[in-house]
């Protein structure tokens, strides 16, 4: 397993994650879908409930770390035994 730590800012109108900004935009509803997807992956029902929870619990803007675990098979290194 490989651990990757990503800087995240949760703002009233969107998220900045690893330098990429997703903001709620009335013209670009696809971004709201991405915000909802991000929120669901963190255990919330949708973007609005996630934003409201962070606003109530931590105040906005909130800055934190997203810890992402990625499966990576271990490869044998020639000349090294376990």
Residue ranges covered by each domain of the chain: 2-70
User: What are the structure tokens assigned to 2, written together?
Assistant: 């490989």
- H-type helices in 2-78, by residue range? 29-41, 47-57
pTM: 0.68
Tens place of pLDDT per residue across the chain (82 aa) = 677 788 889 898 888 887 888 877 644 455 667 888 888 988 999 989 999 999 999 999 999 988 877 777 766 667 766 5
Q: Which residues pair with 20 in a beta bridge?
A: 17
């Amino acid at each position: 397993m490989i651990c990757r730590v990503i800087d995240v800012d949760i703002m009233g109108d969107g998220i900045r994650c690893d330098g990429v900004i997703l903001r709620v935009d009335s013209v670009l509803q696809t971004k709201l879908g991405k915000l909802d997807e991000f929120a669901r992956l963190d255990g919330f029902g949708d973007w609005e409930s996630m934003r409201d929870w962070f606003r109530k619990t931590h105040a906005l803007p909130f800055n934190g770390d997203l810890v992402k675990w990625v499966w990576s098979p271990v490869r044998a290194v020639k000349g090294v035994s376990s």
